[in-house]
């Protein structure tokens, strides 16, 4: 048996969910394909994993491109000597921004949907095509509070995330009986990562360490989902700090 392979799509900041998931999977002995839009950021993540003794390769990927996603999975199915085909896939791509509904343009709405939902469809479909014949594997989608409810100023974001949730549910019902575990993780709260720290430093300070979701703790949950016995698979799990009101 060779080294198992994982694919993480939507990796950006070093202190972010995607980066933390990559590091956790690598620490568990996986060869990790680090996929994201910005080549410099994903290479930084991959090189950090290699420096720590792990195995990782960065691949610049536009998750809204069928060709890019197919190319990523071609590599994932044949990752090199001593490595096994992929059996763990995470879709973590997405963006978020408050926009007044009256000012929201058609192009903005479509852009959020293409990254957050359409990209998840492309990754999920390719994962199903490759994993179903093998009869095993885990596919995890990163969700958000917007997956469950649309807040003022977030119609574009909620529409994309709610659609992604439905993709995950349909996939789980179709491919669960074929041996593929499909799970959706609702991230309900602020994430203690680079994006929030840069955008809202005062809010981060007010919430404190325990008032925000820790990226490594999120990554631990993703690993837990992958290791669940098939007699008790979770299709959806929600995560929030203990201080978060819901």
* Whole-number Å distance between alpha carbons of 113 and 120: 10
At 146-182, the pLDDT tens digits run: 999 999 999 999 999 999 999 999 999 999 999 999 9
Q: Mind listing the pLDDT tens digit for each residue in 173-231? A: 999 999 999 999 999 988 887 676 666 677 777 777 788 999 999 999 999 999 999 99
Burial 61-97 (b: 16+ CB within 10 A, else e): bbbbeeebbeebbebbbebeeebebbbbbbbbbbebe
Q: Phi first, then psi: what are they for 93, rounded to 5°?
A: -70, 145
Q: How far apart are CA 33 and CA 229, in angstroms?
A: 25
CATH of domain 3-239: 3.40.50.720
Q: Which residues are CB-contacts of 238 (< 8 A; sequence separation ≥ 6)?
A: 185, 186, 187, 188
For residues 31-35, average pLDDT: 98
- Report the pLDDT value the prediction gives residue 196, as an integer from 0 to 100: 65
CA–CA distance, 180 with 162 (Å, rounded to integer): 22
| pLDDT-derived band at 27, boundaries 50, 70, 90 | very high
CB 125 within 8 A of CB 168: no
Please say if the pLDDT value at position 51 is more than 80: yes
Q: What residues form DSSP beta bridges with 181?
A: 138
- Distance in angstroms between the alpha carbons of the first and the last residue of the chain: 45
Q: In the Cβ-directed half-sphere of 230, how many Cα atoms lie within 13 Å?
A: 12
Q: Are 129 and 101 in contact (CB under 8 A)?
A: no
Q: Is the pLDDT of residue 34 over 80?
A: yes
- Whether the per-residue pLDDT at 59 is higher than 80: the answer is yes
pLDDT at 234 over 80: yes
Q: Nearest 5 degrees, angle CA 203-CA 204-CA 205?
A: 90
The pLDDT of 236-245, averaged and rounded, is 92
More confident residue, 211 or 70: 70
Residue 115 CA to its chain's centroid (Å): 12
pLDDT tens for each residue of 129-140 = 999 999 999 999
- Give the pair of three-digit tokens for residue 124: 């999920």
pLDDT of residue 76: 98
Higher local confidence (pLDDT), 196 or 31: 31
Indicate left, alpha or beta for 214 from its phi (over 0: left) and psi (-120 to 50: alpha): beta
The per-residue pLDDT for range 80-125, each reduced to its tens digit, is 999 999 999 999 998 889 999 999 999 999 999 999 999 999 999 9
239 has a pLDDT exceeding 90 = yes
pLDDT value of residue 210: 83
Asked if pLDDT for residue 21 goes beyond 80, the answer is yes
Q: Which two tokens stand for residue 235?
A: 């299709």
- Domain borders along the chain are 3-239
pTM of the shown model: 0.95
């Amino acid at each position: 048996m060779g080294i198992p392979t994982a694919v993480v799509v939507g990796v950006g900041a070093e202190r972010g969910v995607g980066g933390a998931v990559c590091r956790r999977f690598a620490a568990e002995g996986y060869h990790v394909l680090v996929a994201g839009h910005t080549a410099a950021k994903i290479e930084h993540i991959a090189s950090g994993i290699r420096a720590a003794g792990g195995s990782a390769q960065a691949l610049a990927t536009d998750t809204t491109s069928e060709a890019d996603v197919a190319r990523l999975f071609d590599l994932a199915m044949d990752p090199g000597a001593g490595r096994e085909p992929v059996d763990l896939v995470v879709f973590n791509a997405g963006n978020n921004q408050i926009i007044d509904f009256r000012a929201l343009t058609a192009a903005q709405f479509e852009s959020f949907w293409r990254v957050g939902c359409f990209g998840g469809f492309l990754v999920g479909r390719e994962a199903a095509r490759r994993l179903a014949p093998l009869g095993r594997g885990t596919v995890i989608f990163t969700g958000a509070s917007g997956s469950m409810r649309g807040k003022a100023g977030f119609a574009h974001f909620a529409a994309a995330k709610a659609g992604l949730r439905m993709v995950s549910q349909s996939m789980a019902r179709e491919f669960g009986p074929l041996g593929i575990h499909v799970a959706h993780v609702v991230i309900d709260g602020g994430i203690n990562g680079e994006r929030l720290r840069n955008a809202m430093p005062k809010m981060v300070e007010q919430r404190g360490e325990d008032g925000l979701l820790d990226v490594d703790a999120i990554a631990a949950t993703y690993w837990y989902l992958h290791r669940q016995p098939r007699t008790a698979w979770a299709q959806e799990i929600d995560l929030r700090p203990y201080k978060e009101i819901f």
